[in-house]
Amino acid sequence: MNSSSRYVEATAHPTMGIVLLGGLSDPINRIPLHGSAGIAYTIKNKDSVARTRISFSDTKRWYKFNGKEIEESSRSPMSFIRKYEERLKTKYRTKYVNFESENQDILSGSSDAGAAAIGKCMQYLLPDEDPVAMENYLRMISESVGRSLFGGLTITELINHGTRTKQLLNHEELRDYEITAFTFPHERRPSDDIHFNIKKLPEYPQRVMSANSKLIELQKLAGKKDIEGIFELAHNDTDEYHSLVEKAGVKIITPEMRVLMKDVNMIRKNIWCSYIVTGGNNVFVASKNEDSEAISDKLQRPDVRITKLIVTGQPKVTSSNI
């Protein structure tokens, strides 16, 4: 990253859905049309993070992602920085506010991680700013950023014309479970293909009611620390969600992924496990720690990468010179 004498740097983790989100109010503010839930994850024994730095300069401005200059757009981090730029310039007596970010070993959910990392930097720099307003501004970058901001298991609910996320369980409360990612060798579809097609379906109002009902059930399961019940709910939601997504003309689950999912259902007759498929090219399989290796052995394929994941916590400020 570029050198600067005054900066703050933070890391945040990627996420995956538990109650999957489909449908946004508009392409700019990206407010969800129903509640959702998710978890923050990292690779077991290795950091899977977005690493982001906000710095100040009196000579030059830069905005970089993975080492390359980025342009301003409605989903660019620059749009979020603009909300706070004048306050930063006044408080820190600087001419330019700069941004850099890079992804490290992220399988899926990188936009949540990137948005949460820049949010953590901004919270550090402007601690008196309204955190709910900041979360909603961050949705311009990623609609499910709250999952990464709070870590562990979270739900995001609609409140008035915005959203608010809260944590239901911290990552330590899910430490006895592991998630194995089976990554297939094909390109993922853009999330907006889902968000702006699914809401056109006549069945969409029913999906909204179903998703919100699942959030009520999820909170009950979390209250009882019923982790397997939580992943069972996610398994069922994956099936419901993707049946609608395919009706909307967006095919996420390939035939090869479908075969693996059927194999998971066979394994479930003897060993507890469940699957989650979000919007990418991964099938995530949750299991007890002690069963993870045996399940991986049964499901391995020649062209499918296997990665062990665990649920993880909130973003962290890793260094600063302010």
Tell me the three-class secondary structure of 140-158, residue by residue.
Answer: CCCCCHHHHHHCCEEEEEE
State the pLDDT confidence band at 152, using cuts at 50, 70 and 90: very high
Six token digits for residue 233: 């709910």
Q: What pLDDT is recorded for position 144?
A: 95
What residue spans of the chain are helical by DSSP H? Answer: 77-92, 110-125, 131-138, 145-150, 191-195, 204-223, 227-247, 255-267, 292-299
User: Within 10 A of 240 (CB to CB), how many other CB atoms are there?
Assistant: 16
Using the predicted structure, report yes or no on whether residue 3 has a pLDDT greater than 60: no
Q: What pLDDT is recorded for position 191?
A: 84
Q: What pLDDT is recorded for position 2?
A: 59
Using the predicted structure, report yes or no on whether residue 304 has a pLDDT greater than 80: yes
| Tens digits of residue pLDDT in 162-194 | 889 999 999 999 999 999 999 999 777 778 889
Q: What pLDDT is recorded for position 232?
A: 98
Q: What pLDDT is recorded for position 197?
A: 94
d(CA 223, CA 210): 20
Six token digits for residue 130: 């309204």
Mean pLDDT of 59-79: 81
d(CA 32, CA 162): 8
Mean pLDDT of 75-82: 86
Mean pLDDT of 69-78: 74
Using the predicted structure, report yes or no on whether residue 221 has a pLDDT greater than 80: yes
Which of 44, 152, 197 minimizes the C-alpha distance to 107?
Answer: 44
Q: What pLDDT is recorded for position 111?
A: 93
71-80, 100-109, 238-247 — which is least confidently predicted?
71-80
d(CA 50, CA 41): 12
Which of 276, 290, 15 minimizes the C-alpha distance to 152?
Answer: 15
Mean pLDDT of 96-107: 94
Mean pLDDT of 295-312: 96
Using the predicted structure, report yes or no on whether residue 148 has a pLDDT greater than 90: yes
Q: What pLDDT is recorded for position 7?
A: 97
Q: What pLDDT is recorded for position 162?
A: 80
User: Within 10 A of 290 (CB to CB), how many other CB atoms are there?
Assistant: 10
Q: What pLDDT is recorded for position 88?
A: 97
Mean predicted lDDT score pLDDT of the chain: 94
